[in-house]
């Protein structure tokens, strides 16, 4: 009878984390920045149809990086959870914090109990009625939740992008300035990207009940051109 | 958070999702008629840029007025609206679920349903209400919207069994529909302007309220006017009460001068 080799739990967790991190690092990054009227999200995404950023509910957006099928499954589950809660109680009872906690539970569960962790990093953003109410929840592959304030960076090369954004003055900026900062941080000093390489969306307070709005290439181009 | 295995996934169908998580409607095996407030008279007609929808605000229980401010014409999504005549409770629930289903589909699939798809979806909801309809809780909606693919306004009429009938020029439902429909039938012309179409819709409800006790007329005393909205390529737009007050003032002046 063959005996499985003993592997220390520390080693198992480390191997899984390395595996997930490698998968995420292969994908392109995504940045969310708060601006005067809400939250702007910009992702490097060569595809015009497979989205990284999408709407969850009236004031809530979802963004994911890593393996597409995995974060898309999480996105749909989030839409379902939000719509069910809004139907059962009231539209006002649907909030990003509760969704972020549910996502964290699932990611944590999969990380410790399944063969393979989910190779994703996700962002749940909620635009408040006023600026201080804006929330950015950044959730890692292992279920770690981070509540971020000025901006969020997800995906490969996140450290360098965070460093580039942290240098900038991003208090109460207009949408164009926020987008340009995000694009510059994503692009970095050694590359050049055009509007077509980005996918952009905003959660805007002035957009009526459904705050989410996707920006097409022309709009992203106009914003980046200033 | 609801998760399903790939072969077992309810997709973008929200009512099915509700059933799967145990929030669906209870299977009713109750017998006998149920009496509930009734909502009446809604119309929709086509004009040059799209469609106009209008509905009075009255709900009745037998010979009593149970509600004066009910809104039976409701926006379903950016480019469509529903108007409902019938039992008020199930009607409002159906409108709520229908609007939610359109939004749910749009979010899950990443693109809105076609106008035809929305009309079909509503048809299924009306059909699923048939057991309640047998008890007297009848729901008969109208559906109207702007078809972004064909670039025209379109209208649908329904019956209790979920039958779906596309109408060309105009449609009316509810207890005052005979009067309202006749008014529109006589005056409707293809390619009417926005102003003409709104005035015709307002007049039709005026005449319906004049002849049908279950249809409410404009209530200048309380400032309650019918819900009137247009749906064009730019989307749903509801008229404000100030504009409706002026229009009804003009209609009243015209009636006085006869």
Domains of chain B in sequence order: 39-256 (3.60.20.10)
Nearest of B201, B194, B212 to residue B251 by alpha carbon: B201
Mean pLDDT across A74-82: 96
For residue A6, tell me if it sits in a domain: no
Across chain B, what does the average pLDDT equal? 91
Q: Between chains, do B104 and A88 touch, taking CB under 8 Å as contact?
A: no
pLDDT (tens digit per residue) in A25-53:
998 999 999 999 999 999 999 888 999 99
B/e letters for A43-69, b = 16+ CB within 10 Å, e = fewer, are: bbbeeeeebbbbbbbbbbbbbbbbbee
Beta bridge partners of B19: none
Number of domains, chain A: 1
For residue A1, tell me if it sits in a domain: no
A81 vs chain B: nearest CA distance in angstroms?
5
- For residue A171 the two structure tokens come to 């208090």
For residue A12, tell me if it sits in a domain: no
- For residue B147 the two structure tokens come to 């078809």
Tell me the count of A-B CB pairs closer than 8 A: 45
Best mutation target among A70, A79, A82, A139 (most B Cβ atoms within 10 Å) is A79
A139 neighbourhood in chain B, CB within 8 Å? none
Higher pLDDT, A128 or B9: A128
| Predicted confidence (pLDDT) at residue B10 exceeds the cutoff of 70 | yes
- For residue A105 the two structure tokens come to 């539970």
pLDDT (tens digit per residue) in B196-207:
999 999 999 999
Query: Cα dist. B206→A201, B59, B73, B255 in Å?
Result: 46, 16, 16, 10
- DSSP-assigned letters across all residues of B98-136: HHHHHHHHHHHHSSPPPHHHHHHHHHHHHHHTHHHHHTT
For residue A145, tell me if it sits in a domain: yes
How much of chain A, in percent, has pLDDT values that exceed 90?
87
- For residue A42 the two structure tokens come to 């910009």
Q: What is the pLDDT of residue B28?
A: 59
Tokens 């692009």 sit on residue: A187
A79 neighbourhood in chain B, CB within 8 Å? 104, 107-108
Write the CATH number for A127: 3.60.20.10
Whether the CB-CB separation of B225 and B216 falls below 8 Å is answered with no
Q: What is the pLDDT of residue B257?
A: 93
Q: Between chains, do A77 and B2 touch, taking CB under 8 Å as contact?
A: yes
- Lowest mean pLDDT, pick from B37-46, B97-106, B214-223: B37-46
For residue A166, tell me if it sits in a domain: yes
Q: Catalytic residue, from B5, B40, B60, B182: name it.
A: B40
- For residue B14 the two structure tokens come to 């929200």
B64 vs chain A: nearest CA distance in angstroms?
31
B108 vs chain A: nearest CA distance in angstroms?
6
Tokens 């770690």 sit on residue: A144
What whole-number distance in Å separates Cα of residue A31 and Cα of residue A155? 9
What whole-number distance in Å separates Cα of residue A209 and Cα of residue A63? 20
Mean pLDDT across B11-20: 89
Q: In chain A, positions 131-160, which contact chain B (CB-CB < 8 Å)?
A: none
Q: What is the pLDDT of residue A46?
A: 87
pLDDT (tens digit per residue) in A112-157:
999 899 999 999 999 999 888 999 999 999 999 999 999 999 998 8
Q: What is the pLDDT of residue A1?
A: 65
A188 vs chain B: nearest CA distance in angstroms?
31
Q: Between chains, do B108 and A54 touch, taking CB under 8 Å as contact?
A: no
pLDDT (tens digit per residue) in A82-119:
999 999 999 999 999 999 999 999 999 999 999 899 99
Best mutation target among A45, A70, A87, A207 (most B Cβ atoms within 10 Å) is A87
Across chain A, what does the average pLDDT equal? 93
What whole-number distance in Å separates Cα of residue A111 and Cα of residue A118? 7
Three-class SS of chain A: CCCCCCCCHHHHHHHHHHHHHHHHHHCCCEEEEEECCEEEEEEECCCCCCCCEEEEECCEEEEEEECHHHHHHHHHHHHHHHHHHHHHCCHHHCCHHHHHHHHHHHHHHHHHHCCCCCCEEEEEEECCCCHHHCEEEEECCCCCEEEECCEEEECCCHHHHHHHHHCCCCCCCCHHHHHHHHHHHHHCCCCCCCHHHEEEEEEECCCCCCCEEEECHHHHHHHHHC
Whether the CB-CB separation of B215 and B58 falls below 8 Å is answered with yes
| Predicted confidence (pLDDT) at residue B32 exceeds the cutoff of 70 | no
Q: What is the pLDDT of residue A169?
A: 84
Q: What is the pLDDT of residue B108?
A: 95
How much of chain B, in percent, has pLDDT values that exceed 90?
69
Whether the CB-CB separation of A39 and A32 falls below 8 Å is answered with yes
Longest dimension (CA), chain B: 70
Decide: residue B128, CB within 10 A, 0-12 exposed, 13-18 middle, 19+ buried: middle
For residue A58, tell me if it sits in a domain: yes
For residue A207, tell me if it sits in a domain: yes
Q: Which residues of B touch A (CB under 8 A)?
A: 1-3, 14, 17-18, 21, 23, 96-97, 100, 103-104, 107-108, 110
Active site residue B40: yes
Best mutation target among B107, B108, B236 (most A Cβ atoms within 10 Å) is B107
pLDDT (tens digit per residue) in B165-193:
999 999 999 999 999 999 999 999 999 99
A206 near B CB under 8 A: no
Q: What is the pLDDT of residue B56?
A: 94
B112 vs chain A: nearest CA distance in angstroms?
13
What whole-number distance in Å separates Cα of residue B134 and Cα of residue A110? 48
For residue A197, tell me if it sits in a domain: yes
pLDDT (tens digit per residue) in A181-199:
999 999 999 999 999 999 9
Nearest of B10, B3, B9 to residue A102 by alpha carbon: B3
Closest chain B residue to the Cα of A83, Cα to Cα: B104
Nearest of B80, B86, B123 to residue B102 by alpha carbon: B80
Q: What is the pLDDT of residue B104?
A: 96
3-state SS assignment for residue B176:
coil
Provide the residue range defining the domain that includes A162.
26-225
Nearest of A222, A226, A173, A216 to residue A48 by alpha carbon: A216
């Amino acid at each position: 009878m063959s005996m499985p080799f003993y592997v220390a739990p520390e080693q198992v967790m480390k191997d899984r984390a390395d595996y997930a991190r490698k998968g995420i690092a292969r994908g392109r990054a995504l940045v969310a920045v708060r601006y005067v009227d809400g939250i702007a999200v910009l992702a490097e995404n060569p595809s015009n149809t497979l989205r990284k950023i999408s709407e969850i509910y009236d004031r809530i957006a979802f963004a994911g990086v890593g393996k597409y099928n995995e974060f898309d499954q999480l996105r749909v589950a989030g839409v379902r959870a939000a719509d069910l809660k809004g139907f059962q109680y009231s539209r006002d009872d649907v909030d990003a914090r509760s969704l972020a906690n549910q996502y964290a539970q699932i990611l944590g569960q999969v990380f410790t109990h399944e063969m393979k962790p989910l190779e994703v990093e996700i962002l749940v953003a909620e635009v408040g009625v006023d600026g201080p109410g804006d929330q950015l929840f950044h959730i890692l592959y292992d279920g770690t939740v981070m509540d971020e304030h000025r901006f969020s960076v997800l995906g490969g090369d996140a450290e360098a992008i965070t460093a580039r954004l942290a240098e900038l003055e991003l208090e109460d900026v207009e949408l164009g300035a926020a987008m340009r900062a995000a694009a510059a941080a994503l692009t970095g000093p050694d590359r050049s990207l055009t509007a077509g390489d980005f996918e952009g969306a905003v959660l805007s307070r002035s957009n009526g009940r459904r705050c989410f709005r996707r920006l097409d290439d022309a709009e992203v181009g106009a914003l980046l051109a200033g | 958070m609801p998760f399903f295995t790939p072969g077992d996934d309810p997709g973008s169908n929200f009512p099915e999702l509700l059933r799967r998580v145990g929030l669906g409607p209870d299977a009713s095996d109750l017998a006998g008629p149920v009496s509930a407030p009734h909502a009446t008279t809604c119309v929709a007609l086509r004009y040059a840029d799209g469609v106009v929808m209008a509905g009075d605000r009255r709900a009745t229980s037998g010979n009593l007025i149970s509600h004066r401010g009910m809104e039976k014409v409701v926006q379903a999504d950016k480019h469509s609206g529903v108007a409902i005549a019938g039992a008020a409770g199930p009607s409002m629930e159906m409108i709520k679920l229908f609007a939610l289903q359109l939004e749910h589909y749009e979010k899950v699939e990443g693109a809105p349903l076609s106008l035809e798809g929305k009309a079909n979806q509503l048809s299924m909801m009306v059909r699923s209400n048939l057991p309640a309809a047998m008890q007297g809780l009848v729901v008969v909606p109208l559906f109207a919207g702007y078809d972004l693919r064909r670039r025209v306004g379109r209208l649908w009429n329904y019956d209790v069994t979920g039958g779906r009938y596309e109408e060309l020029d105009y449609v009316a439902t509810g207890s005052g529909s005979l009067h309202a429909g006749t008014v529109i039938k006589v005056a409707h012309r293809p390619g009417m302007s926005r102003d003409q179409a709104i005035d015709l819709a307002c007049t039709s409800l005026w005449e319906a309220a004049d002849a049908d006790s279950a249809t409410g007329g404009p209530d200048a005393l309380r400032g309650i006017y019918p819900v009137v909205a247009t749906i064009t390529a730019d989307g749903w737009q509801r008229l404000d009460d100030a504009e409706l007050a002026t229009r009804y003032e003009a209609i009243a002046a015209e009636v006085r001068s006869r």
